[in-house]
Amino acid sequence: MKVSLLQIDVFFGDPEQNYQHVREVFNQADLEANQLVILPELWNTGYDLSRLADIADTKGQRSQSFLRDLAQKYQIYLIAGSIAQESGERFFNTTYVYDPKGVQLGEYDKVHLFRLMREEQFLSAGNQPLVTPIGDFQIACDICYDLRFPEWFRKQASLQANVFVVVAQWPQQRLAAWQKLLQARAIENQAYVLGVNRVGQDPDNVFAGHSLVVDPEGNIIIEMGSEEGIATADISAEKIAESRQEIPVFADRRPELYV
């Protein structure tokens, strides 16, 4: 399957500009039918968390309509980064997934809230993983800080995930951790890891970019720089099978000892 990483800047607290910017990026992209396209975290608002009551998408309705139309127009699978959305007077950091007909395949609310950016003061945490079949793959959706929790990735692997998509607003000062953790999650789960980060800055942070595609052996297939752009790579179900056959990690686990 062909996958495209859309590494973009995000306008702080300005949904109108962000919807327009995403539309323009898609117009400029060279996309193929039935490929997978991925956006970064919180592309609709950025980390303007204190203003979520004013700028979050009510029940995600606008974003869902917008993303459904993009998936249909370009006939793609779309893992739509994540958005800030309001539901029942609470706010969530939510990923939506669509198929080429615009059918929503699932949604995922970020499970691990990042205290250094005060997420727990403004956002509610999700409680369920999302692993969805796309083509020959079982794809798990994760958001930024989730990357630091290997037990969460192993839980998703136990649900047959063999590709992990990590969308992020990861800051420049922790770029080395971003790279190493993406590789570690790929190696230990013998899976592809697709990390899509934003670029640019907001009032408090400079974001690293450096979106990556990592193969099941931890090799970096693609690493972007610190500017906006689109990178495309192919991922292979056969590569996953070969890696898991060579070193049978999952067969040799002893989960009764891990509790």
Q: Of 249, 252, 211, which is closest to residue 9 (Cα–Cα)?
A: 211
Separation CA 225–CA 117 (nearest Å): 24
- Residues 99-114 pLDDT 10s: 999 999 999 999 999 9
At position 75, the amino acid (one-letter code) is Q
pLDDT at 259: 83
Does 199 have pLDDT greater than 90? yes
Any residues with CB less than 8 A from the CB of 119 and at least 6 apart, and which?
A: 49, 93, 110, 113, 145
Does 48 have pLDDT greater than 90? yes
HSE (side-chain half, CA atoms, 13 Å) at 141: 32
Largest CA distance in the chain: 52
Separation CA 72–CA 78 (nearest Å): 10
> What is the distance, to the nearest Å, from the Cα of residue 62 to the centroid of all Cα atoms in its chain?
19
CA distance readout (Å), 75 to 45, 70, 78, 159: 26, 8, 9, 27
- Lookup: tokens for 115: 């205290």
> What is the distance, to the nearest Å, from the Cα of residue 136 to the centroid of all Cα atoms in its chain?
19
pLDDT at 121: 97
CATH number for 227? 3.60.110.10
Question: What percent of the chain has pLDDT above 90?
Answer: 99
Task: Domain count for the chain, please give it.
Answer: 1
Would you tell me how many other CB atoms lie within 10 Å of the CB of residue 117? Answer: 18
Could you list the active site residues? 41, 110, 144
Separation CA 181–CA 193 (nearest Å): 10
- Lookup: tokens for 69: 């139309």
Q: Is 101 helix (H, G, I), strand (E, B) or coil?
A: coil
- Residues 215-246 pLDDT 10s: 999 999 999 999 999 999 999 999 999 999 99
For tokens 């891990």, name the residue: 258
- Residues 54-102 pLDDT 10s: 999 999 999 999 999 999 999 999 999 999 999 999 999 999 999 999 9
**Mean per-residue pLDDT, 180-201:** 98
81 strand-pairing partners: none
Q: Which domain holds residue 46?
A: 2-257
